């Protein structure tokens, strides 16, 4: 993930520097809030803490952890060495989950916000692609067999809407995320009630002050020692949803690439195969589907962790969380960067698409031809049987002999259809229904309001990731 796939922004969110500076920010915010509420904590102590939020001596912390076998205590002592005046009041009243869980929530929120900006980019690119190709007819496929016509733009709205659903779900996770704040060792806030000599109002005020300082409006109403691991499970389910949408999109592009109708970008000097020089493999989409399967598989870990928690807490969540949650976010970060790159440079081949339509449209046009012949005085049932026989004969020419579809010529030559005007019967635009109008409606009614709502979250810079 670090060396090959992920953006610097997402890597930083799950980096040791982000984690441990956030621990120090939490300790500072706790001390500031406690001082505001009357505990004897001096401005000099707070100032010294504030001066040493980022300059973490990791070697020193490592030595302390080897000695104590406790990561939080190791960093408390390391921070105390950097801010000796504050040593007596660092972590006052708190338990390890104070820094651990609150930092996890801050990371989750930051990672979700980063993914949000990437989703907005992908949705915007797919919307532009849909608009550009909204009227370009193409074969629809059901069961991966030729079906009624659609348009290239309409198909792209299906990809786009999947990501819209993901964005709405992701925004819900951001808006409803609650901070743990100060809850104590078993969630009863007993240590803080002791600090404030039984003053319940000050404990509640402390909780709110800390949450405000860390940028949270909502606080978990109750917790054990840790915030509910349902938060992790629900968040990973949302991330998995994005991976599912990405997988579907990329699989479709891989299928269309095989048909030579649409391809992902292919660099001028890119090599598709070490042996077959002509190959243009869809390697970006293949990479994204590979990573998407990984993300989907990771969702089982936080779900089982949430189920496995005992009473007020156990510690069998920790090692699993450190692996599953960052890896899922890092992988989705890579996936969305890949997809943005693919959509931004996607290549459409209208002539190949038209050729595929020409091979199948005669069969699809038979219903219109049948109606025209009936309107000209023919017997519907007899005409249906004639069309059936000609269709099978034409299909045999295509499948058994590799020849072009000659169904229309057969029908033109049959006296039963001499009254039918065949001019324009093979115009693909007569068979795309409301596809162009659906694209227009989708862009106006769904995408435009969404872009207005989320415009402040959109990223203005392009990813530096090599895809």
Positions marked active-site: 143, 273
Strand partners, 219: 179
Rounded to the nearest 10 degrees, what angle do helices 380-401 and 350-364 cross at?
140
CA distances from 369 to 324, 365, 420, 422 (A): 58, 6, 7, 8
Per DSSP, which regions of 69-214 are E strands? 137-142, 145-151
Strand partners, 366: none
Asked if residues 88 and 46 have their Cβ atoms less than 8 Å apart, the reply is: no
CA distances from 13 to 22, 55, 360 (A): 10, 17, 51
In sequence order, which residues have a C-beta less than 8 Å from that of residue 31 and are 6 or more positions away? Answer: 41, 45, 46, 49, 86, 89, 90, 92
Three-class SS of residue 163? helix
CA distance 159 to 122: 10
Tokens representing residue 270 in the block: 């890119």
Closest CA to 415 of 460, 453, 377: 377
Q: Which residue has the tokens 């709110």?
A: 208
Element of type H or E holding 39? none
Closest CA to 256 of 124, 149, 152: 152
- C-alpha triplet 27, 31, 36: angle, nearest 5°: 150
CA distance 252 to 466: 22
What DSSP letter does each residue of 341-353 carry, written as one string? HHHHT-EE-HHHH
Tokens representing residue 338 in the block: 């890949």
Three-class SS of residue 150? strand
CA distance 453 to 447: 10
Asked if residues 30 and 208 have their Cβ atoms less than 8 Å apart, the reply is: no
């Amino acid at each position: 993930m670090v060396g090959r796939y992920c953006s610097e922004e997402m890597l930083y969110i799950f980096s040791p520097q982000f984690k441990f500076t956030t621990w120090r920010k939490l300790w500072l915010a706790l001390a500031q809030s406690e001082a505001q509420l009357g505990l004897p904590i001096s401005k000099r102590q707070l100032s010294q803490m504030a001066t040493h939020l980022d300059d973490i001596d990791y070697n020193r912390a490592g030595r302390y952890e080897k000695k104590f076998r406790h990561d939080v205590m190791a960093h408390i002592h390391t921070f105390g060495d950097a801010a000796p005046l504050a040593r007596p009041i660092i972590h006052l009243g708190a338990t390890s989950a104070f820094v651990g869980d609150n930092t996890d929530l801050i990371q989750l929120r930051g990672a979700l916000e980063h993914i949000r900006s990437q989703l907005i980019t992908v949705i915007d690119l797919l919307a532009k692609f849909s608009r550009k190709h909204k009227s370009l007819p193409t074969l629809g496929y059901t069961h991966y067999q030729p079906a009624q016509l659609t348009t290239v733009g309409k198909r792209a709205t299906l990809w786009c809407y999947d990501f819209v659903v993901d964005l709405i779900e992701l925004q819900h996770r951001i808006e409803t995320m609650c901070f743990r704040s100060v809850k104590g060792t078993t969630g009863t806030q007993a240590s803080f009630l002791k600090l404030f000599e039984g003053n319940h109002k000050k404990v509640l005020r402390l909780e709110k002050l800390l949450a405000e300082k860390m940028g949270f409006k909502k606080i978990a109403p109750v917790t054990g020692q840790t915030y509910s691991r349902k938060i992790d499970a629900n968040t990973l389910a949302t991330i998995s949803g994005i991976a599912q949408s990405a997988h579907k999109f990329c699989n479709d592009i891989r299928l269309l690439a095989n048909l030579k109708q649409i391809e992902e970008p292919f660099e001028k000097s890119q090599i598709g195969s070490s042996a077959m020089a002509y190959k243009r493999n869809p390697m970006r989409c293949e990479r994204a589907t590979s990573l998407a399967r990984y993300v989907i598989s990771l969702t089982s870990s936080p779900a089982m962790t949430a189920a496995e928690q005992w009473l007020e807490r156990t510690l069998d969540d920790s090692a699993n969380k450190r692996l599953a949650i960052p890896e899922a976010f890092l992988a989705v970060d890579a996936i969305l960067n890949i997809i943005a790159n693919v959509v931004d440079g996607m290549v459409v081949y209208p002539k190949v698409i038209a050729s595929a339509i020409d091979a199948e449209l005669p069969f699809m046009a038979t219903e219109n031809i049948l109606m025209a012949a009936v309107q000209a005085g023919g017997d519907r049932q007899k005409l249906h049987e004639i069309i059936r026989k000609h269709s099978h004969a034409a299909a045999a020419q295509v499948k058994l002999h590799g020849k072009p579809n000659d169904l229309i010529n057969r029908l033109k030559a049959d006296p039963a259809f001499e009254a039918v005007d065949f001019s324009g019967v093979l115009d693909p635009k007569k068979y795309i229904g409301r596809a162009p109008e659906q694209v227009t409606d989708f862009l106006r009614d769904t995408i435009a309001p969404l872009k207005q709502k989320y415009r402040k979250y959109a990223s203005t810079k392009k990813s530096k990731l090599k895809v």
